[in-house]
Amino acid sequence: MSDQPGPQTKKPFLYVVVCAAGIAGDVHELITAAQRANWDVGVVATPQGLGFIDAAAVEARTGYPIRSAWRAPGDPRPLPPPDAIAVAPATFNTINKWAAGISDTLAVGILCEAYGLGIPTAVLPHLNSAQAAHPAYRLSLDRLRGMGVMIGSYEPHSPEAGGGAGRFRWEEALELLTPRLSAQA
């Protein structure tokens, strides 16, 4: 009997949107956890985020090219459409642009359209407390919550700490998305 996946066994497709946060180099943790949970995974990186990850290693792990820029008109779509999106890590910058509808990177463009398309989306912010203190940030989270986006529990690190790698739970993205997808099924 063939073990090739047929249309009836097609796995759900997860976009992992990676922003330019110091922790982004560990994104393989989320990719691996998602693949173990039976997702196919494609990565969309912000242009700045590309510099924070090992693109070749990510592409080898997912089997898909990383998307970062818009394709040329007429070019084929490099990734299948997503069944769900995890924005991890999500920067202060991308969160505020997404909430405001400023679609100036492919990553934010995909996120802005995901709302209208009804694609379940979870965001794991990774930022420091000085960034989080800006009034725009709370308003952005309130707006995204109102759009149905599920928001991770990371408590911003102190600006001097330089990151909170030990407290950032990559798998929380899957914990947030899975019940939403089960409810839709």
Ligand X SMILES: Cc1cc2nc3c(=O)[nH]c(=O)nc-3n(C[C@H](O)[C@H](O)[C@H](O)COP(=O)(O)O)c2cc1C
Provide the β-strand partners of residue 17: 44, 87
Q: Is residue 120 part of the contact set for ligand X (CB under 6 A)?
A: no
x/- binding map, residues 10-29, to ligand X, per CB under 6 A?
---------xxxx-------
Amino acid at 181: L
x/- binding map, residues 100-119, to ligand X, per CB under 6 A?
-----x--------------
Best CA proximity match to 163, nearest among 135, 125, 107, 137: 125
CB of 91 to ligand X, least distance (A): 3
Q: Is residue 154 part of the contact set for ligand X (CB under 6 A)?
A: no
Best CA proximity match to 94, nearest among 136, 57, 63: 136
Give the C-alpha separation, 45 to 106, whole Å: 8
Q: Is residue 93 part of the contact set for ligand X (CB under 6 A)?
A: yes
Minimum CB distance to ligand X smaller for 5 or for 47: 47
Query: Which are the contacts of 118, defined by CB distance < 8 A and separation ≥ 6?
Result: none
Would you say the C-alpha torsion 44, 48, 49, 54 has a positive or negative sign?
positive
Binding to ligand X, residues 39-68 (CB under 6 A): 46, 48-49
Q: Is residue 126 part of the contact set for ligand X (CB under 6 A)?
A: yes
Q: Is residue 122 part of the contact set for ligand X (CB under 6 A)?
A: no
Q: Is residue 131 part of the contact set for ligand X (CB under 6 A)?
A: yes
The 8-class DSSP code of residue 112 comes to H
Residues that bind ligand X (CB under 6 A): 19-22, 46, 48-49, 91-94, 105, 126-127, 131
